[in-house]
Amino acid sequence: MSDATMATPPSVVEAGALEHGDLLAHDAVPAALISMRDIWKTYQMGSEELHALRGVSFDVQRGEYMAIIGPSGSGKSTLMNLIGCLDTPSQGRYWINGKLVSAMDDDELARIRNKEIGFVFQTFNLLARATALHNVELPLIYAGISSADRHERARQSLASVELTDRMTHRPNELSGGQRQRVAIARALVNHPSLLLADEPTGALDSHTSVEIMNLFEKLHSDGNTIIVVTHEPDIAARAHRVISIRDGQIERDERIK
Ligand X SMILES: Nc1ncnc2c1ncn2[C@@H]1O[C@H](COP(=O)(O)OP(=O)(O)OP(=O)(O)O)[C@@H](O)[C@H]1O
Residue nearest Mg ion (C-beta atom): 77
Site for ligand X in 41-80 (CB under 6 A): 43, 45, 50, 52, 70, 72-78
The entry of ligand X, Mg ion, none near residue 84 (CB within 5 to 8 angstroms by kind) is none
All residues at 6 or more sequence positions from 51 whose CB lies less than 8 Å from its CB, including other chains: 40, 41, 42, 248
The entry of Mg ion, ligand X, none near residue 225 (CB within 5 to 8 angstroms by kind) is none
Give the other-Cβ count within 10 Å of 78's Cβ: 20
| Collapsed DSSP state (helix, strand, coil) of residue 128 | coil
**163 vs 132: CA distance, rounded Å:** 9
Closest CA to 174 of 140, 141, 208: 208
Decide whether 76 or 134 has the Cβ nearer to ligand X: 76
Q: Is 29 exposed, middle or buried (0-12, 13-18, 19+ CB in 10 A)?
A: middle
Size of the site for ligand X (CB under 6 A): 12
Decide whether 29 or 202 has the Cβ nearer to ligand X: 202
Q: Is 187 exposed, middle or buried (0-12, 13-18, 19+ CB in 10 A)?
A: buried
Residue 191 Cβ, how far from Mg ion at the closest point, in Å? 27
Site for ligand X in 5-44 (CB under 6 A): 43
The entry of Mg ion, ligand X, none near residue 70 (CB within 5 to 8 angstroms by kind) is ligand X
**Pairing state between β 48-60 and 34-45:** antiparallel
Decide whether 190 or 230 has the Cβ nearer to Mg ion: 230
Site for ligand X in 95-134 (CB under 6 A): none
Residue 61 Cβ, how far from ligand X at the closest point, in Å? 24
Decide whether 35 or 122 has the Cβ nearer to ligand X: 122
Residues lying near Mg ion in the complex (CB under 5 A) are found at 76-77
Residue 2 Cβ, how far from ligand X at the closest point, in Å? 22
Decide whether 52 or 174 has the Cβ nearer to ligand X: 52
Angle among Cα 106, 112, 116 to the nearest 5 degrees reads 150
User: What are φ and ψ of residue 249, in 5° steps?
Assistant: -130, 155
The entry of Mg ion, ligand X, none near residue 52 (CB within 5 to 8 angstroms by kind) is ligand X
Which parts of this chain interact with ligand X (CB under 6 A)? 43, 45, 50, 52, 70, 72-78
